[in-house]
Amino acid sequence: EPEVTQTPSHQVTQMGQEVILRCVPISNHLYFYWYRQILGQKVEFLVSFYNNEISEKSEIFDDQFSVERPDGSNFTLKIRSTKLEDSAMYFCASRSTNTEAFFGQGTRLTVV
């Protein structure tokens, strides 16, 4: 069964460092999303991406965040200068036109 895969499963980084979280969406999907879940809190929408551009972003997705689809398979989330409060589980999701969103297993980001 096709699935969304995310790497790494756990990333530890020092405050101020840049991190790139990677996602491989399901191959025929066209819509891509990033969500995050701070420990013990609700899952929050960050950004949606379609046709090689951001279609919607939340207030959380400030200038420190960027997304990219560098090739036909990967979808990345970059945080330029990490802060302690960026520590969270980051989920990638993808969908095609007529399906629900499929979520990856998440990357746990720990900023120290």
Partner 1 sequence: GEDVEQSLFLSVREGDSSVINCTYTDSSSTYLYWYKQEPGAGLQLLTYIFSNMDMKQDQRLTVLLNKKDKHLSLRIADTQTGDSAIYFCAHGAAGNKLTFGGGTRVLVKP
CB of 84 to partner 1, least distance (A): 22
Going 68 to 35 to 23 to 64, the CA torsion angle's sign is positive
Q: Let me know: does 89 contact 106? Beta carbons within 8 Å.
A: yes
The one among 12, 20, 43, 54 contacting partner 1 by CB under 8 A: 43
Look up residue 6 and give its two tokens.
């995310």
Query: Does 63 participate in binding partner 1 (rule CB under 8 A)?
Result: no
Residue (of 67, 25, 24) closest to 45 by Cα position:
67
Q: Let me know: does 58 contact 65? Beta carbons within 8 Å.
A: no
Query: Does 60 participate in binding partner 1 (rule CB under 8 A)?
Result: no
Query: Does 48 participate in binding partner 1 (rule CB under 8 A)?
Result: yes
Q: Which is nearer to partner 1, 11 or 102 (CB)?
A: 102
Query: Does 8 participate in binding partner 1 (rule CB under 8 A)?
Result: no
Which residue carries 């699935």 as its tokens? 3
Residues near partner 1 (CB under 8 A): 31, 33, 35, 41-45, 48, 56, 58, 91, 95, 97, 100-106
